[in-house]
Amino acid sequence: MTDWLTVERGEAPLVVALPHAGTDLVDVEGAFRSPEVARRDADWWVDRLYGFAGDLGATMVRTGVSRSVIDVNRDPSGASLYPGMATTELCPTTTFDGEALYPGDGPDEAEIARRRERWFDPYHAALAGEIARLRARHGRVVVYDAHSIRSHVPRLFEGELPLFNIGTFDGVSCSAELAEAVRAVCVGSSHVVDGRFKGGWTTRHYGAPERGIHAIQMELAMRGYLDEGAGWPPVFDAGRAAGTIAVLREVLGGCLRFAEGSG
């Protein structure tokens, strides 16, 4: 564990990754046009939503560094995960709404390389290490990438986002059995499988069902646990979150049953 990277080890065949819950702008805060704007697109309170995961024996890997500094769920080559669609870069230059993060052009290639070496690479070294550790002990391991986003982001998608957005990279990153186990838990709420969000770099890079590693992403609409219209940064609403947490507990339970071969 470092001051920005946290690994909480469990022994169950489940790794929960939290790539976007951080808001730390580290040593580049002064480069942003507005630190407040640079923190806006965090996956607010996702770490609190999954606070129960350790009790299930899951391993948690979390970075405290803001995605505006470097997005550890993007292709490190800079290639878009969604060609032809609006998205943000490895080192974003705009918010989800298209608002400029920097007064000028943003980080140059040398600065992007520095950020990758300083934060991206160690995060993925830790994540890969935990996956390998658990895979050596279990026949199957589930990598669960935990995210959230505002329910309405017109630049990224039309209308209101379903509450539970399950990503499997169109069935490539995990078995259909796991995808169905997660989907079945969400049937009582608005949900979609491989809709606007099919899974980011983590899901696509680590998912290898043929090698016993099944990766799946969950993108939550924030209205499931906070009041999106009550100002920003948002306040966690424990009452509103209770139902969402209950579903998420069942989702992770389904992931574990699958990994343990009893799904």
Instruction: Quickly tell me which residue has 């052009």 as its tokens.
Output: 105
The whole-number average pLDDT for the span 126-154 is 98
- Measured CA to CA in angstroms, residue 72 lies from 171, 204, 237 at distances of 22, 13, 27
Residue ranges per structural domain of the chain: 5-260
User: What is the CATH topology of the domain spanning 5-260?
Assistant: Aminopeptidase (3.40.630)
Q: Which of 63, 72, 53 has its CA nearest to residue 3? A: 63
Residues whose CB is less than 8 angstroms from the CB of residue 53 and which lie 6 or more positions away in sequence, other chains included? 14, 16, 60, 252
Res 263: pLDDT: 45
pLDDT of residue 169: 97
> What's the pLDDT score for residue 126?
98
Return the pLDDT at 262: 54
pLDDT-derived band of residue 189, with 50, 70 and 90 as boundaries? very high
Nearest in space to 26 (alpha carbons), one of 62, 64, 71, 73: 64
pLDDT digits (tens, 9 = 90+) for 12-24: 999 999 999 999 9
Distance between first and last Cα of the chain? 33
**In the block, which residue shows the tokens 């998205």?**
87
Residue 33 has pLDDT above 80, yes or no: yes
The residues, any chain, with a CB within 8 Å of residue 249's CB and separated by 6 or more, are 52, 56
- Phi and psi torsions of 225, nearest 5°: -150, 5
Q: β-strands 14-18, 59-63: how paired?
A: parallel
Count CB neighbours of 109 within 10 A.
8
Q: Considering the entire predicted model, what is its pTM?
A: 0.96
Q: Is the CA virtual torsion 148, 169, 58, 124 positive or negative?
A: negative
Asked if residue 220 lies in contact with residue 148, where contact means CB atoms within 8 angstroms, the answer is yes
What's the chain's average pLDDT?
96
Cα torsion angle, 24, 50, 46, 141, sign: positive
Residue in 134, 137, 201 with CA at minimum distance from that of residue 167: 201
Spatial separation of the C-alpha atoms in residues 47 and 16, rounded to whole Å = 10
